[in-house]
């Protein structure tokens, strides 16, 4: 009896650990008493301010600290920004926790976990209409339409109230696989009462409705049909609906299909095995067989739609791919929109392709891409259908969250019932009423090579400095007997000026002048002060002469 009372009296805590500061690393904790459920565990790719970083994960310290409460992990769909942190999280958990998701999503996750040698994960397949109880938290799953099959939303019931999390969605009436949003379930949940709605904000700044995925097919077919030679199509490897349309267009044009790129090979294999991607075996050829066919009989599906330097498209554009290369007369279709921050990388790839002589199609030229996220009218429809008492926009940058909040006010949700949070901030629900809760530790975790952890901001700052202005090493040879610096030798890497005799003479004079002005202890214990003086003096000298600030590495050698 006491335990039941405790569960009923404990508030429902909703704690976003990621997903509210960009398009990526989605992760939200739902905690009620002694029970906790995690919805999504995604990653984000680094931007220009994070040189050398491979991946960015949400800081899931709170989950590890409360591991004994964790009853399950729910994954709404199979994109990296919702699944990518799972291998790292599972490695850090002491106990195996069940993972609930659709068949295709679990297939993608299984391939990812196999790379990390995580054996026998506790998979629990669910679909629209499934129901699970995880302690005092019960979850109903409902189908949603996105750019990948098997996308789900969740309706979460707790003793303190009900929450609906839409997952990523758009209201597509003609989806490629025929699975439309489950309007009946959404309406049923609305009648039962939705105390808090958490809804996808990615396209909250885009007016109107998002076009149907089915509208892309005719444009892809036209571009492939009119191509005089080979066609290369770059897309997200998890965008199975798009890959199906590419394959359908290729087959209609009598072309064979080549698949290249590690994630593209893996995901097409998984999707075909599970029945989500229909490509007859005879229409797929190996990349090594490409020279055996006429060029107007080939379509290559590859990764690289975001300009990633190590992707198949970038390697082919730069002549670095081990089996495929591009030449004048090829057609390239970039079937995606750059994620914010990737625009520069995508444009560089397009320019490289143009220099080769490729004919490049992107969304600015013809309809070779539509978004998988609902625009303003769809977001307003979701708000109108669900009629939530409280609203929290999720999945987006600050501008998207605030735009979504404005839409919510337009459809009648009071401003004081709308919560725009940062990662780590929390909501608490008691008896259907929602208010701000106590924040928890949050932030990001960097994957840097084989190292996973909090990369020191000083390290990132140093990398930026090296990338911008290079590095100069100054070796000061100090005579402890004569108590003076006998000579200074300079070398540089990545600097915009020449380290010649004139530079060496002038820089040495500047440093010597500063040393003479100060009082330094020319002993082994005084080298730290000498080192700092050399660094500061040389930095000022280079700034005055070149207006650059390379990293200065001072070395003091005692003789």
Active site residues: 200, 373
Beta bridge partners of 145: 170
The residue with tokens 């309809």 is: 367
The residue with tokens 């921050």 is: 341
Residue ranges of E strands in 449-523: 451-453, 471-479, 484-493
User: What are the tokens at 251?
Assistant: 């087959």
Question: Comparing C-alpha atoms, which of 328, 404, 342, 405 is closest to residue 373?
Answer: 404
Contacts of 541 (CB under 8 A, 6+ apart): 506, 507, 510, 511
Cα→Cα distances 325→294, 321, 467, Å: 15, 6, 30
Cα→Cα distances 13→33, 102, 124, 296, 387, Å: 9, 26, 24, 58, 21
Contacts of 315 (CB under 8 A, 6+ apart): 321
Q: Angle, nearest 10°, between helix axes 240-252 and 216-226?
A: 40
Measure the CA dihedral 292/295/299/305, to 10°: 120
Question: Comparing C-alpha atoms, which of 308, 310, 311, 359 is closest to residue 331?
Answer: 359
Chain-centroid distance of CA 460 in Å reads 19
Residue-by-residue DSSP string for 111-142: HHHHHTT--S--EEE--TT-EEEETTEEEEEE
- Cβ pair 58, 113 in contact under 8 A: no
């Amino acid at each position: 009896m006491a335990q039941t009372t405790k569960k009923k009296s404990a508030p429902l805590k909703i704690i976003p650990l990621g997903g509210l500061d960009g398009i990526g690393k989605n992760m939200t904790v739902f905690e009620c008493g002694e029970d906790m459920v995690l919805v999504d565990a995604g990653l984000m790719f680094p931007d220009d301010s994070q040189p050398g970083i491979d991946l960015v994960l949400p800081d899931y310290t709170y989950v590890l600290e409360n591991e004994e409460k964790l009853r399950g992990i729910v994954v709404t769909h199979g994109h990296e920004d919702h699944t990518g942190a799972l291998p790292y999280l599972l490695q850090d958990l002491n106990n195996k926790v069940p993972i609930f998701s659709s068949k295709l999503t679990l297939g993608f996750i299984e391939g990812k976990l196999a790379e990390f040698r995580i054996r026998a994960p506790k998979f629990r397949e669910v679909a629209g209409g499934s129901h699970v109880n995880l302690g005092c938290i019960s979850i109903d799953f409902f189908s949603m339409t996105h750019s990948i099959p098997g996308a789900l939303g969740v309706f979460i019931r707790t003793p303190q109230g009900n929450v609906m999390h839409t997952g990523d969605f758009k209201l597509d009436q003609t989806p490629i696989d025929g699975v439309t949003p489950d309007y009946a379930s959404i309406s049923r949940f609305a009648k039962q009462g939705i105390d808090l709605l958490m809804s996808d904000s990615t396209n909250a700044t885009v007016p109107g409705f998002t076009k149907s995925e089915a509208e892309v097919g005719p444009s892809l077919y036209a571009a492939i049909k009119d191509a005089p030679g080979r066609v290369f199509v770059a897309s997200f490897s998890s965008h199975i609906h798009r890959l199906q349309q590419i394959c359908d267009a290729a087959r209609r044009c009598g072309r064979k299909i080549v698949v290249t790129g590690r994630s593209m090979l893996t995901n097409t294999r998984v999707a075909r095995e599970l029945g989500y991607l229909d490509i007859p075996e005879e229409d797929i050829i190996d990349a090594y067989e490409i020279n055996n066919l006429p060029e107007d009989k080939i379509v290559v599906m590859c990764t690289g739609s975001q300009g990633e330097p190590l992707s198949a498209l970038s390697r082919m554009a730069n002549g670095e791919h081990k089996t495929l290369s591009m030449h004048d007369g090829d057609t390239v279709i970039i079937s995606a929109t750059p994620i914010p921050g990737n625009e520069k990388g995508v444009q560089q790839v397009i320019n490289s392709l143009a220099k080769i002589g490729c004919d490049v199609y992107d969304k600015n030229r013809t309809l070779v891409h539509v978004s998988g996220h609902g625009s303003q009218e769809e977001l307003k429809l979701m708000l109108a259908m669900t009629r939530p008492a409280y609203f929290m926009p999720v999945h987006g940058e600050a501008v998207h969250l605030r735009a979504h909040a404005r839409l919510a006010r337009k459809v009648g949700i009071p401003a004081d019932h709308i919560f725009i949070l940062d990662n780590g901030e929390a909501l608490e629900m008691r008896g259907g009423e929602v208010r701000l809760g106590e924040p928890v530790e949050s932030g990001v975790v960097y994957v840097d090579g084989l190292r996973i952890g909090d990369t020191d901001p000083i390290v990132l700052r140093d990398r930026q400095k090296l990338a911008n202005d290079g590095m100069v090493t100054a070796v000061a040879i100090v005579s402890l007997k004569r108590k003076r610096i006998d000579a200074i030798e300079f070398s540089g890497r990545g600097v915009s000026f020449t380290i010649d005799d004139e530079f060496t003479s002038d820089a040495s004079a500047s440093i010597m002048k500063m040393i003479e002005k100060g009082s330094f202890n020319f002993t082994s214990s005084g080298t730290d002060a000498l080192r700092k003086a050399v660094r500061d003096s040389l930095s000022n000298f280079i700034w005055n002469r070149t207006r650059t600030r390379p990293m200065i590495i001072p070395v003091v050698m005692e003789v």
